[in-house]
Chains A and B, each alone.
Chain A
Amino acid sequence: MYNLYQFFLRYYLLLLFLSLETFCVYLIYQNKHYNQVAYMNMANEASGKVYSLYQGVSDYFYLRNYNDSLVKENAYLRAQLLDSKYICKIDSGHISDSTAKNVQRYTYITARVIRNSVNEASNLIFLDRGRLQGVQKQMGVINANGIVGQVVSVTDNYSAAMSVLSKEFKVSARFKKNDFFGNLHWDGINSTTASLEDIPKHVPVKIGDTLVTSGFSQLFPRNIMIGTVKSLKMEADKNFLEITVNLSTNFGSLGYVYVVNDMKKVEIQSLDSLVK
């Protein structure tokens, strides 16, 4: 017993150090699995308050930029209106079907970015909307320019989303011109580019081709902009192209974003479980 006591007396510092480090490793490991584990409330109310207070001040310096991007988006949306399209179809024997209702599938929750980073290995974006405003985990986040990320953690009034610039983030991207699709993920270095995988060599890809979301997941609607092809490499010993993509979203200056609420999500997921 005396020896044991002597041992503790001698090594208690090392033991304390090792036990605390082990606890850290446990915490880190627990929070690694962004999707499976409800990891500690990353978007916590206290830090949310601090950040939104700070953002409230710094927003004033970016008002002009926000206005510009909103005006641009308004113009784009205006162009989508039926009124601003030239109707090519000539109504001959065409029955206009007024009974078929357009069923709404997506709604959008506007949110302000209160914290953002681009230079970490997994970048998180904090938003000032939470459970009470209808934000849930696993919802997609987009802005006027393209995709932004995915909600990973929610509190009553705030939420945290991992941005495309996270090593855990993957999204299926589709070429707008020919519908071939592959997996897009961030390469971890440059905040303006990502790499696209699983595109077979026979697919005709040119620099500048546009990539949009495939709409296969319940994260994003179809045809949301992702980016354009920046460069491509073809290696003899591989079956797939190595494509670098210029992301259309400027992650350095996110002001306002939309959280995508897919109203058919539960139905699609129940279909998934039926098939399995």
Chain B
Amino acid sequence: MISQIPINLFRLVLLLLAQILIFSNVNYSSFINPYVFPLFILLLPFETPRWLLMLVGFSSGLLLDYFLGSIGMHAAACLLIGYLRPFLINIITPKGTEFEISPNIFAQGTTWFIVYLGITMFIYLTLYFFVEAATFLNFFFMLLKIFLSVLCSVFFMLIFLFLFSSKKKKRFA
């Protein structure tokens, strides 16, 4: 478990820089607002205890907030997906699957990842956008914004996964 810390820290820094310098810096349109940062929480090892998932989610969310100037909003959303992650993995994983140490696109498969990322990002962005706007006005605009942003986020996350996942299957357990 200890051996997983450096790789996750590296991923944290990489995703944080990608988020603040690229995805939150390039303004495509008000409809598309991709967030790749939550991938950090989604790729933590399967065995991570749930209290640690929540604490890591919360503090990494605050870190992102610190750079984006949205104190509390990303922390709330990251905490939520950290809390929900174990339930979700239980639901979408077929019984009897052999687990790697952490989610890996070459082990779990692309379909599993699209479902996994799609659902978590939908929860994440729904919470974030509504908290950010602090209103339910423009409801359909918000729905469209959430939908497009989820699509875009998942697309970039998949690119990230294909680029940085190790193909070598490590058997632990």
Contacts and interface: CB of A to CB of B under 8 A. Distances in A.
Interface of A: 12-13, 16-17, 20-21, 24-28, 30-32, 39-40, 42-44, 46-47, 50-51, 54, 115-122, 124, 126, 160, 167, 188-191, 252
B160 interface: no
B71 A39 contact: yes
Interface string B122-139: 000000010111100010
27 contacts: A17-B54, A17-B79, A17-B83, A20-B55, A21-B79, A24-B73, A24-B79, A25-B76, A28-B73, A28-B131, A30-B71, A31-B72, A42-B71, A47-B66, A54-B25, A116-B27, A118-B27, A119-B33, A120-B70, A120-B132, A121-B134, A122-B132, A124-B69, A126-B69, A167-B133, A167-B134, A252-B27
Nearest to A253: B27
Given A16-B54, A17-B83, 8 more contacts: A24-B73, A27-B71, A27-B75, A28-B131, A42-B71, A46-B66, A47-B20, A119-B33
B79 to A, nearest CB: 5
Interface in B18-32: 20-21, 24-25, 27-32
A118 B33 CA distance: 10
Contacts of A21: 76, 79-80
Interface of B: 20-21, 24-25, 27-33, 50-51, 54-55, 58, 66-67, 69-73, 75-76, 79-80, 83, 129, 131-134, 138, 141
Given A20-B79, A21-B76, A120-B132, A28 B54 contact: no
B79 A13 contact: no
Contacts of B129: 121
B30 A160 contact: no
Contacts of B33: 119-120
Contacts of A50: 20-21, 67
Given A50-B20, A119-B29, A119-B30, A20 B58 contact: yes
Contact of A40 (B58, B71, B73): B71
A225 B29 CA distance: 24
A184 B29 CA distance: 22
B48 to A, nearest CB: 13
A45 to B, nearest CB: 11
Given A121-B132, A189-B138, A191-B30, A16 B71 contact: no
A118 B75 CA distance: 21
Nearest to A165: B30
A141 to B, nearest CB: 15
Nearest to B29: A119
Given A50-B67, A160-B69, A119 B28 contact: yes
Given A17-B83, A47-B67, A28 B133 contact: no
Contacts of B24: 117
Contacts of B31: 119
List 8 tightest A-B contacts by C-beta distance, closest first: A27-B72, A24-B76, A28-B72, A121-B132, A121-B133, A42-B69, A118-B27, A124-B69
Nearest to A124: B69
Question: Which residue of B25, B55, B138 has the most chain A CB atoms within 10 A of its CB atom?
Answer: B25
A39 B130 CA distance: 21
Nearest to A28: B72
A123 to B, nearest CB: 9
A120 B29 CA distance: 10
Contacts of B76: 21, 24-25, 28
A119 B27 contact: yes
A27 B70 CA distance: 10
A115 B30 contact: no
Nearest to B17: A50
Contacts of B50: 13
B29 to A, nearest CB: 7
A190 B33 CA distance: 14
Contacts of B83: 13, 17
Given A20-B79, A28-B73, A44 B28 contact: no
